[in-house]
Amino acid sequence: MYKNKQKLLIAVDCIIFGFDSEQIKLLLFKRKVEPYSGNWSLVGAFINENLSLNEAAQEILFEYTGLKDIYLEELQTYSKVDRDPGERVISVAFFSLTRINEIVEESVEKFDAHWFNLDEIPELILDHREMVDNAITKLRQKARYQPIGFELLPEKFTIPQLQLLYECIYNKKLDDRNFRKKIFSYDILTKTDLKDKSTSKKGAFLYKFNKKKFDSFIANGYNFEL
């Protein structure tokens, strides 16, 4: 059909964020193939004829973390002509939010992966550092108007946990009284009668996030600033 048109190599790279109840983390992998074998890198793969970019990204994530149906969002394309010294490759970066505790350990270990704090990211191959920086910026921006925080927390979580997560995202302390007021005003949480006593004697009630209310919240045109 489009005969004399040039074809190019196209790849996807995945930025994988997690939250371990203390810090936001980035999952990086020690590369095992040339070029750059032994260096830290995002995970990625070339695209073939059979998959959309999204499907390809989901597949990569499954391969490396054992997780399916991960929150995944396109970040942007990276297409500088000489970004890969080997050969020209256009890469589409995706960023994903995961619950660290759900990640299948064997998958991660098999690939020599490691969770890094955002302020301790090692040197990365190619333009992967730029991708990561852009993803962090986007994560912070996005958090202001979409409640993506939930993708990073376990199914049941406490208010102090949720607050801590947002403190990590915004990188500043929040007032706990105002935080509670605000989050409850959105009316998207369901209280359980369970308590998490891992961090205090009193224990903190566990909440679940109410999918139905949440969806209508989204549908209306939310503004999630905290």
Beta-carbon count within 10 A of 154 CB: 15
Instruction: Give the whole-angstrom CA distance, residue 89 versus residue 9.
Output: 5
Task: Map tokens 């995002």 to a residue.
Answer: 42
Interaction between residue 194 and DNA (CB under 7 A) = no
Residues 118-157 that bind its own copies (CB under 8 A): 144-145
Interaction between residue 53 and DNA (CB under 7 A) = no
172 binds, among DNA, its own copies, none (CB under 5 to 8 A by kind): none
In the bound state with its own copies, the residue whose beta carbon lies nearer, of 88 and 197, is 88
Check: CB of residue 61 under 8 Å from CB of residue 47.
no
Q: Give the H or E element holding residue 168.
A: helix 159-170
Instruction: Give the whole-angstrom CA distance, residue 69 versus residue 219.
Output: 21
Check: CB of residue 33 under 8 Å from CB of residue 114.
no
Q: Where are the alpha helices (DSSP H) in 81-175?
A: 105-110, 128-143, 149-152, 159-170
What are the phi and psi torsion angles at 132 (to 5°)?
-65, -45
With CB under 7 A, what is the number of residues at the site for DNA? 20
105 binds, among DNA, its own copies, none (CB under 5 to 8 A by kind): none
The mark string for 64-103 relative to its own copies (x by CB under 8 A, - otherwise) is ----------x-xx-xxx----xxxxx-x-----------
218 binds, among DNA, its own copies, none (CB under 5 to 8 A by kind): none
Distance of CA 22 to the CA centre of its chain: 16
Residues 95-154 that bind DNA (CB under 7 A): none
Q: Which of 177, 193, 212, 220 binds DNA (CB under 7 A)?
A: 177
Interaction between residue 173 and DNA (CB under 7 A) = no
63 binds, among its own copies, DNA, none (CB under 5 to 8 A by kind): none
Beta-carbon count within 10 A of 21 CB: 17
Interaction between residue 202 and its own copies (CB under 8 A) = no
Q: Which of 200, 211, 216, 218 binds DNA (CB under 7 A)?
A: 200
Q: Which of 49, 119, 193, 225 binds DNA (CB under 7 A)?
A: 225
Kindly state the smallest distance separating residue 114's Cβ from its own copies, in Å.
26
Helix or strand or coil: residue 171?
coil
Q: Which of 9, 192, 203, 218 binds its own copies (CB under 8 A)?
A: 9
- Which tokens belong to 4? 């004399």
In the bound state with its own copies, the residue whose beta carbon lies nearer, of 37 and 52, is 52
